[in-house]
Structure formats: C-alpha cells, structure tokens
Amino acid sequence: MRILVADDHDLVRETIAAYLHGDDIQDVRSVASLDEAIAEVRRSGAFDLVLLDYAMPGMNGLEGLTQMIAANDGHPVAILSGTAKRQVAERALQAGARGFIPKTLGARSLLSAARFMAAGEIYAPVAFLTAEPDEPPTIVLSGRESQVLAGICAGQSNKEIARDHALQEVTVKLYVKTLSRKLGARNRTHAAMLARDLDLI
C-alpha cells in the first residue's frame, strides 16, 4: 500500500506519517501543500490513499479535494482536520472524500482507518458525526504563552524555548501545561496541531 500525507505543518505531517507504518504499507510519502501532492501523484503514479489537510493553503475549502480525487485517478482521498466541524465532514463525504479523519485520532485507529479507506470503504468516526454542532472555541493567549506555543509548533524542547526567551525550564513546563489545558490538547504534538488549525500561530 502507498499513502501520501499532505499537511503544511511539519510536526503534524511527520507525526501522521510516523503513525502509518504496517507490514502492508510499503511507501508513505509526505508533502506540504496541495500543489506538491498533485505533483507527487503525477510524478510517481496514483496512491492507494491520499490524506489532505482541510486547512492547508491552496485547498480553498473542498475544491482541493475535488482536484486531488481527479489527480489520483479516482483512488481514495480523505480529509484530515484538527478543528473542522460535523457539517464540513458531511460536505467532504458528499463531495467524494473516502473519509474524514480528526487529527485527535490515535496511532492504531489512524492505521486501521487508512487500511479501511484504501480497501474502498468510507471512514468517519460515529461519535464525531453524531455530535451536536457547536461554536469554535475562543482561546486568548498571553504574549508569553504565544511565544511558548510558537516554540512547541517549531518542534523545540522546553530547554530550547527557555533559552530563547530567557526563562527557567520549569517555567516553560508550567506554560506548556497551561496551554494544553486551554487548547484541550493531550500532548505537545496535539497542541501544535490545534494551534495551527485555530490560527493561533
């Protein structure tokens, strides 16, 4: 199985690609934009599955999905998102997406979903599609929290963030905990995903 992951956030892209390892997956490639994804398909042939970030530049909502389905010769294309709501997921599936993958999905679930979609089935978490519509959260960060979050998104360690901003490492750890609570993030990578999709960085 060959899988292509397209997401413009380096940390998110690398994490998702790392999740997609199994005996039946021979090739996982990753690119940073829709244009690069289309170019990769033209260069190396259709992929068994393409995962596209919904909020990636160039996507123009679901127009990018339609372009990718055509470029991938009708093979499965799914949408990834950290913050899109149920209505977006429903529209994506109606537009031909083979699945809708929340970025909060764990490694095993993502791998299972990828296999499911590559086999031609449609995947979307039932809990997500049956959830009541809600308003996007309003998150206000202090200047220091924004600096720490930018460091997290850049893949920096607490020590590196502390050095760059003349802070104690223990202080950075406290900021990371506060940020995780504000964002509802499980860990640093999840915080980076949410920050990017909520346009906090």
Output the tens digit of pLDDT for each of the chain's 201 residues.
999 999 998 888 888 888 898 788 889 999 999 999 999 999 999 999 999 999 888 898 889 999 999 999 989 999 998 776 778 888 888 899 999 998 878 888 889 999 999 988 999 876 655 555 555 556 778 888 889 999 998 889 999 999 999 999 999 998 998 888 888 888 888 888 888 777 777
pLDDT of residue 2: 95
pLDDT of residue 130: 58
pLDDT of residue 188: 85
- Residue 185 phi/psi, 5-degree rounding, is -95, 145
* 3-class secondary-structure state, position 100: strand
pLDDT of residue 106: 81
pLDDT of residue 197: 74
pLDDT of residue 131: 55
pLDDT of residue 78: 95
Residue 42 token pair: 């033209």
Whole-number Cα distances in Å, 22 to 107, 114, 125: 11, 11, 21
pLDDT of residue 81: 86
**In angstroms, how far is the first alpha carbon of the chain from the final one?**
34
Angle at the Cα of 49 (from 43 to 53), degrees rounded to 5?
Answer: 90
Nearby residues of 111 by Cβ (< 8 Å), 6 or more positions away: 19, 20, 21, 22
Query: Structural domains in the chain?
Result: 2-129 (3.40.50.2300), 143-197 (1.10.10.10)
Q: The tokens 């289309």 sit on which residue? A: 38
pLDDT of residue 158: 93
Q: What span, in angstroms and rounded, lies between the C-alpha atoms of 69 and 77?
A: 6
Residue 105 token pair: 């999905």
pLDDT of residue 198: 73
